[in-house]
Amino acid sequence: MAVRRILLVLTGWTLPAASALAAPIATGMAEREPPAPVLWLTLLTIAGLSLAMSCRRWWLPLMLWVPVAFAVSLIIAELADPVIGAAIREELGGFYVLQADLCAALAITVPLMFANMRFGRGDGAKNRSRLG
């Protein structure tokens, strides 16, 4: 039982590093950024892991949130930089920046949303039984 919990937590912590490892190493600015399908696939994986983790315990998605927030901050910092961000917008276009921002925002909020849904569900049932 404890081995499953450890594996689940380790999987959640290594997930944000997967997109960085999938990007090829090259000299161009655009080649250092993860492709848009990798961003969306990572977002879907984070959502799936958050759902599975929240079904186990309401606080487990919060453990996934910390590394995801760190990885998102690295991506957003590059896009917000005046020199690097301008080069990325020139090479990949504004639609890529929009997709990256949307995936980053959703990746930050999805684990919190699932944790809140599970926490609120258990809390509300207890409060209703006391009132009735």
pTM, two decimals, is: 0.68
* Phi and psi torsions of 93, nearest 5°: 95, 165
Full domain range(s) for residue 110: 2-13+35-131
Residue 39, C-beta contacts closer than 8 angstroms, at least 6 positions apart:
19, 99, 100, 103
- If we measure between CA atoms, which residue out of 72, 77, 54 comes closest to residue 108? 72
| Helix locations, the chain, DSSP H | 2-22, 29-32, 36-56, 60-80, 82-92, 94-131
* Residue 24 falls inside a structural domain: no
> What is the tens place of the pLDDT at every residue in 28-61?
767 888 999 999 999 999 999 999 999 999 999 9
User: How many domains would you assign to the chain?
Assistant: 1
> Is 44 domain-assigned?
yes
Tell me: pLDDT of 17 over 70. no
Would 26 be classed as within a structural domain?
no
